[in-house]
A = this chain, B = another copy of it.
């Protein structure tokens, strides 16, 4: 089986062949370049720009791989600003000896995911590090998006009375990676929620112009995002525990390990804050979109306990959600 060699990262003939055979083959579009920089039409809007490095271990997991993840992560970061993802770049650092077929599978996943939301991968870079100098493969993606006219989101815009929606059941990605690492010897079938959410955000912001906050709950999970919003807007957040969607298998695993799904990473879930009277419309739109069919209203913004998140339990008592600590797992994304 063909392997990636140091020569593939040399910038010479072998690099050119790798670009042709793997990258150009899968990512080809009118702007894709092997040159110094891609030349791109100006979208004539305010721009959004975001970057993310991906070092997830293992690079292949239930429901995706590092390639899919690297597109979703940056697409979703742009979508959080109400920006249509237009152009992306990807930079690979590959360990010498990495399997060429796996690399191709990663690149093919990237293209599939990019196509789903219509973003073009326009430029890339490939470096190869010696055995043991990098763990398998790292990918950094950067995206430029066109912010939709009239959309202005920020954690600071949350207001008392706003509804808090999550776009699907939470904690899947974190649980999935935890199981893949097999450190705990638990057998369960949990796939990552890893998904590109621009199409859902696009549909929502066509109809609901006054979305206050959109934030993707990656490292740190939904709980961290909610604390960020509570602090940035100086508001309280009140969750209804029974309404927080958690898949049965995720609940099983996290229960065994004593983890809170609110603090486990998602890679295809957003927290969306809208005026209370737009909650039903928002849910109705999201339920029609791919990846957000199970969006749920999980709570409200209040004036009480500013800077804090509280949960109402099934028996009606209100408790403080412990503020975010540090992440359980490194290399989750």
Contact = CB atoms under 8 A, between A and B. Distances in A.
Contact of A134 (B135, B143, B145): B135
Interface string A51-89: 111110100000000000000000011101101000101
A12 B77 contact: no
B326 A49 contact: no
The winner among A38, A126, A155 for most chain B CB atoms within 10 A is A38
B42 A38 contact: no
Residue of A51, A91, A130 with highest tally of chain B CB at under 10 A: A51
A22 B197 CA distance: 31
A128 B12 contact: no
Question: How many identical subunits does the complex contain?
Answer: 2
Contacts of A93: 53, 55, 93, 138
Nearest to A323: B13
A284 interface: no
Contacts of A36: 50, 76-78, 80-81, 215-216
Contacts of A14: 326
A248 to B, nearest CB: 27
Contact of A91 (B42, B127, B140, B224): B140
A274 to B, nearest CB: 18
Given A11-B327, A140-B140, A326-B14, A37 B224 contact: no
A308 interface: no
Interface residues of A, number: 78
Given A49-B123, A93-B138, A125-B53, A330 B130 contact: yes
Given A36-B78, A51-B140, 14 more contacts: A10-B220, A11-B220, A11-B224, A12-B325, A12-B327, A35-B80, A35-B155, A37-B143, A42-B45, A53-B125, A55-B93, A93-B93, A93-B138, A134-B135
16 contacts: A7-B326, A13-B324, A36-B50, A36-B77, A37-B50, A42-B43, A42-B46, A49-B122, A51-B90, A51-B123, A52-B125, A53-B92, A53-B126, A53-B140, A127-B333, A133-B134
